[in-house]
Structure 1
Amino acid sequence: MNSNIQAMITNVSVDDLEEAIPLYKELAGNPEVLRFPYEETQLALVGPFLLISGPRGNHEAQNATILVHDLTLVQEALGRAGAAIVDAPSEVPNGTRLVARHPDGAVFEYLQPRG
């Protein structure tokens, strides 16, 4: 059986993206930095790190972002486990996402990237 999970991205709350990016670029091997806004926050994807700056909202509680091939499979597994959907599936600039609180209290964002 192949895993539905493509990658896991650690969420890092920072006060200033510009100050934080150089360290995370070096740690991740100097990848391209992808910047994008989401609601009132500014985000920068630096390798396996998602830097989040601005009002945190649901982002502060999230343990990580998990990239998946099929969000439907995630929803089915979450339902069987009794997880709570914190933020229903919605379209965002880089795909479709949902946020769920697992029965153990861990909170994850699940993202099915576009294309």
Structure 2
Amino acid sequence: MAILKTYARLWSEDLDRALPPLVELVGEDPHLRFEFGEVELGAVGDFLVIAGPADAAAKLPKATTTVIVSDLGEVGTVLASHGAEVTFGPVQGPTGSYLFARHADGSEVEYVQWKPELEARIIR
């Protein structure tokens, strides 16, 4: 199992306003942009922006970061061996399989195993 990418999660009410400064700072265009329920997500560099109305964001599981991994099943095994609790998932989403876990220290993390074509396009 490998960690392929880690995103800092940013919350916004307007993705179109949130992305331009990140695009300029990172020096590249967003490599992901999609709708997920009532929110829209965009990723540029190592930032993942989750945008939508506050009430929609409040319904989503909270996490401090999103971690892209090569094997979600193995992640679950490692987390359990260290006292973590899976709080949501694993389930399928627009980009692949994902779960949310609360680590033994209380931190909450989203782990995602991308679909192969997405991994091939973004992870070089």
Q: Which runs of 4+ in 1 moved over 4 A?
A: none
Partner AA of 1:64 in structure 2:
T
In structure 2, list runs of 5 or more residues that go unmatched: 117-124
CA RMSD of aligned residues (A): 1.4
Q: How many residues align?
A: 112
User: C-alpha displacement at 1:33, in angstroms?
Assistant: 4.3
1:21-47 deviations in Å (ceiling 9; x for gaps): 101111221233421111221111112
In structure 1, list runs of 5 or more residues that go unmatched: none
Partner AA of 1:73 in structure 2:
E
User: C-alpha displacement at 1:106, in angstroms?
Assistant: 0.8
TM-score (norm 1): 0.90
Partner AA of 2:60 in structure 1:
N
The structure with the greater share of residues assigned to strand is 1
1:45-101 deviations in Å (ceiling 9; x for gaps): 112111111221335x21110000001110001111121111110111111100001
Taking the TM superposition and a 5 Å limit, the aligned residue runs for 1:96-111 are: 96-111=97-112
TM-score (norm 2): 0.84
Q: Pick which of 101-110 and 23-32 moved more.
A: 23-32
Q: Pick which of 38-47 and 10-19 moved more.
A: 38-47
Percent identical residues: 35
The match for 1:90 is 91
Whole-angstrom distance in 1 between the partners of 2:90 and 2:5: 19
Partner AA of 1:94 in structure 2:
T
Q: Pick which of 92-101 and 77-86 moved more.
A: 77-86
